[in-house]
Amino acid sequence: MEDHSTFPRIFSMFFITTVAFFATSVLSIGINYGQIANNLPSPDDAVALVKCVGATKVKLYDADPRVLKAFANTGVEVMVGLGNEYLSRMKDPTKAQAWIKANLQPYLPATKITSIFVGNEVLTFNDTSLTSNLLPAMQSVHTALLNLALDKQITVTTTHSLAVLQTSYPPSAGAFRTDLAPCLAPILSFQAKTGSPFLINAYPYFAYKANPKQVPLDFVLFQPNQGMVDPSSNLHYDNMLFAQIDAVYSALTSLGYGKLPVHISETGWPSKGDEDEAGANLENAKKYNGNLIKMAMSSSKKGTPSRPNTDLNIYVFALFNENMKPGPTSERNYGLFKPDGTPAYPLGFSLASAPNDAVSNSTGAGTPPRPPTSSTGYLSISSAPSLERRWLSSVVALMVGLILKF
Ligand SMILES: *[C@@H]1O[C@H](CO)[C@@H](O)[C@H](O)[C@H]1NC(C)=O
Ligand SMILES: *[C@@H]1O[C@H](CO)[C@@H](O)[C@H](O)[C@H]1NC(C)=O
Confidence of residue 297 (pLDDT cuts 50, 70, 90): confident
Cβ within 8 Å of residue 304, ≥6 positions away: 242, 245, 246, 249, 310, 312
Q: Which atom of ligand 1 is nearest the CA belonging to 126? A: 1
Residue 266's DSSP bridge partners are 201
Task: Give me the percent of the chain exceeding a pLDDT of 70.
Answer: 79
More confident of the two residues 374 and 247: 247
State mean pLDDT over 182-195: 97
Q: What local confidence, expressed as pLDDT, does residue 265 receive?
A: 98
Backbone dihedral angles phi then psi of residue 364, each to the nearest 5 degrees: 80, 25
Question: Is 70 exceeded by the pLDDT of residue 21?
Answer: no
How many angstroms does the Cα of residue 120 sit away from the middle of ligand 1? Answer: 16
Q: Where are the alpha helices (DSSP H) in 279-323?
A: 282-297
How many angstroms does the Cα of residue 299 sit away from the middle of ligand 2? Answer: 14
Question: Is 60 exceeded by the pLDDT of residue 180?
Answer: yes
Q: Which atom of ligand 1 is nearest the CA belonging to 177? A: 4
Confidence of residue 167 (pLDDT cuts 50, 70, 90): very high
Q: Are 403 and 346 in contact (CB under 8 A)?
A: yes
Report which secondary-structure segment, H or E, holds 254. helix 240-254
Q: What local confidence, expressed as pLDDT, does residue 113 receive?
A: 98
Window from 121-125, 258-262, 377-381 with minimum mean pLDDT? 377-381
The tens digit of pLDDT for each residue in 198-244 reads: 999 999 999 999 999 999 999 999 999 999 999 999 999 999 999 99
With 0-12 CB in 10 A as exposed, 13-18 as middle and 19+ as buried, what is 363?
buried
Window from 163-167, 273-277, 372-376, 401-405 with minimum mean pLDDT? 372-376
Q: Which of 77, 85, 266, 283 is catalytic?
A: 266
Confidence of residue 6 (pLDDT cuts 50, 70, 90): very low
Nearest ligand (C-alpha, residue 353): 2
DSSP state of 20: H
With 0-12 CB in 10 A as exposed, 13-18 as middle and 19+ as buried, what is 398?
buried
**Mean pLDDT computed over every residue of the chain:** 85
State mean pLDDT over 24-29: 64
Confidence of residue 36 (pLDDT cuts 50, 70, 90): very high
Closest CA to 346 of 334, 333, 337, 354: 337
Question: Is 50 exceeded by the pLDDT of residue 361?
Answer: no
Q: Which atom of ligand 1 is nearest the CA belonging to 179? A: 4
State mean pLDDT over 155-163: 98
Residue boundaries of the structural domains of the chain: 7-405
Using a 6 Å cutoff on CB, does residue 179 contact ligand 1? yes
Question: Is 80 exceeded by the pLDDT of residue 346?
Answer: yes
How distant, in Å, are the alpha carbons of 68, 135, 167 from that of 58?
11, 24, 30
Active site residue 266: yes
Q: Which atom of ligand 1 is nearest the CA belonging to 125? A: 13
Question: How far is residue 226's CA from residue 236's CA, in Å, rounded to a whole number?
Answer: 9
How many angstroms does the Cα of residue 226 sit away from the middle of ligand 2? Answer: 30
How distant, in Å, are the alpha carbons of 216, 217, 317, 321 from that of 329?
23, 20, 15, 11
DSSP state of 213: T
Question: Is 50 exceeded by the pLDDT of residue 367?
Answer: no
Q: What local confidence, expressed as pLDDT, does residue 357 receive?
A: 30
Question: Is 80 exceeded by the pLDDT of residue 257?
Answer: yes
Active site residue 85: no
Q: Kindly state which CATH superfamily the domain 7-405 is placed in.
A: Glycosidases (3.20.20.80)
Using a 6 Å cutoff on CB, does residue 126 contact ligand 1? yes
Nearest ligand (C-alpha, residue 131): 1
Residue nearest to atom 3 of ligand 1 (CA): 126
Beta strands in 162-271, from DSSP E residues, in sequence order: 165-167, 175-176, 198-201, 228-229, 236-237, 262-267
Confidence of residue 16 (pLDDT cuts 50, 70, 90): very low
Question: How far is residue 87's CA from residue 97's CA, in Å, rounded to a whole number?
Answer: 13
Window from 76-85, 163-172, 312-321, 385-394 with minimum mean pLDDT? 385-394
Q: What local confidence, expressed as pLDDT, does residue 347 receive?
A: 85
Residue nearest to atom 13 of ligand 1 (CA): 125
Q: How many residues does the chain have?
A: 406
DSSP state of 370: P
Question: How far is residue 156's CA from residue 137's CA, in Å, rounded to a whole number?
Answer: 10
Reduce the DSSP state of residue 249 to 3 states and report it: helix
The tens digit of pLDDT for each residue in 56-70 reads: 999 999 999 999 999
Reduce the DSSP state of residue 217 to 3 states and report it: helix
Helices 386-404 and 6-23: crossing angle in degrees, nearest 10, is: 80
Reduce the DSSP state of residue 337 to 3 states and report it: strand
Q: Which of 121, 277, 322, 331 is catalytic?
A: 121
With 0-12 CB in 10 A as exposed, 13-18 as middle and 19+ as buried, what is 136?
middle
Question: How far is residue 69's CA from residue 111's CA, in Å, rounded to a whole number?
Answer: 7
Question: Is 90 exceeded by the pLDDT of residue 284?
Answer: yes
Q: What local confidence, expressed as pLDDT, does residue 380 receive?
A: 27
